[in-house]
Amino acid sequence: MLESFVETGGVRLWSVSQGTGIPLVLCHGGPGCCDYLAPVANLVSEQANVIRYEQRGCGRSDAYPPYDVATYLGDLEGVRQHYGVNDWIVAGHSWGAELALIYGMNYPGRTLGLICLSGGYMNNDREWHKAYEQGREAGLEPPLSFDYPPNMEVNKLMNQSMRRYIQRPTLFRDLAQLQVPTLFIYGENDIRPSWPVEQVAHLLPKGHFTMLPGATHNLWLTHADELKTYMHDFILELGATHRATKE
């Protein structure tokens, strides 16, 4: 496991890489949280060279605005260039899944596949938010333990930027034209309703949605074996396809 700082867009972003195989980057959720996806990286490090990083303003990375979709896309591209990766699998959890999807739409030639864990909503529905808030207030989702406190300024500004982004008139056309294999894995007991993610999964030409019975938002805490199996199979299939295209 090797830690390094990525210099991109005038900031330094903390990152770490582990494992061998096809390159894969993990985008953490929030927005505004530090990285917490080491357990997920450990599940697939035998099949992939897993890169994790902390987004601008989060954890050990520099807190320097702007905090918006365009800047975060540029930062993610900076991570790819720092590691000398030509193309990779882009995976994300929760908000990180939305970032992965947007990256795939903007850089399809760099994206071998997408993995969206507990995310990929692309909506701002009031009923969805109401259900999520009620579940959170009822204590139905134990909070994760973070090594660094969330940056609430990042959370506020990135959520505003995402609301603007999903109002783009061509959003669903762009999703429907995205020819990138995409795996969605969702927990049956996630307090966030799954229907927006299922809609996106069915819209993508190569999208596949998997529901994990009994799982909550942080899938690896209770369903690590199932999560590992689904991710392994997807990564191995992408690896085989990638090798075939290179031969």
Q: Are strands 11-18 and 48-53 parallel, antiparallel or unpaired?
A: antiparallel
Q: Are strands 111-117 and 182-187 parallel, antiparallel or unpaired?
A: parallel
The residue behind tokens 């999208």 is 207
pLDDT (0 to 100) of residue 1: 87
Confidence of residue 146 (pLDDT cuts 50, 70, 90): very high
User: Residue 47: which of 80, 24, 79 has the closest Cα?
Assistant: 24
**C-alpha dist (Å) from residue 71 to 43, 49, 109, 110:** 29, 25, 19, 18
Q: Does residue 30 come out as left (phi exceeding 0), alpha (psi in the -120 to 50 range) or beta?
A: left
On whether the CB atoms of residues 58 and 80 are closer than 8 A, the answer is: no
Within 10 Å of residue 235's Cβ, how many Cβ atoms?
A: 23
In the chain, % of residues over pLDDT 70: 98
What is d(CA 167, CA 106) in angstroms, rounded to the nearest whole number? 16
pLDDT tens per residue, range 26-51: 999 999 999 999 999 999 999 999 99
Host H or E run for residue 22: strand 22-27
User: Residue 25: which of 108, 111, 151, 98 has the closest Cα?
Assistant: 111
Confidence of residue 239 (pLDDT cuts 50, 70, 90): confident
In the chain, % of residues over pLDDT 90: 92
Residue 212, strand partner residues: 187
Residue 69 has pLDDT above 90, yes or no: yes
pTM value is: 0.96
Residue 112 has pLDDT above 80, yes or no: yes
What is d(CA 144, CA 197) in angstroms, rounded to the nearest whole number? 22
**C-alpha dist (Å) from residue 142 to 87, 135, 137:** 36, 11, 11
pLDDT tens per residue, range 120-130: 999 988 899 99
Confidence of residue 244 (pLDDT cuts 50, 70, 90): low
Residue 243 has pLDDT above 90, yes or no: no
pLDDT (0 to 100) of residue 143: 84
**What value does the mean pLDDT of the chain take?**
95
Confidence of residue 18 (pLDDT cuts 50, 70, 90): very high
Span 47-66, average pLDDT: 97
Please report the domains of the chain, with CATH numbers, ordered by start residue. 2-242 (3.40.50.1820)
Residue 2 neighbours by CB under 8 Å, 6+ apart: 16, 17, 18
Within 10 Å of residue 210's Cβ, how many Cβ atoms?
A: 13
Confidence of residue 240 (pLDDT cuts 50, 70, 90): confident
pLDDT (0 to 100) of residue 234: 97
What is d(CA 75, CA 151) in angstroms, rounded to the nearest whole number? 17
User: Residue 103: which of 93, 91, 94, 119 has the closest Cα?
Assistant: 91
What is d(CA 150, CA 162) in angstroms, rounded to the nearest whole number? 18
What is d(CA 36, CA 143) in angstroms, rounded to the nearest whole number? 12
Residue 247 has pLDDT above 60, yes or no: no
Confidence of residue 241 (pLDDT cuts 50, 70, 90): confident
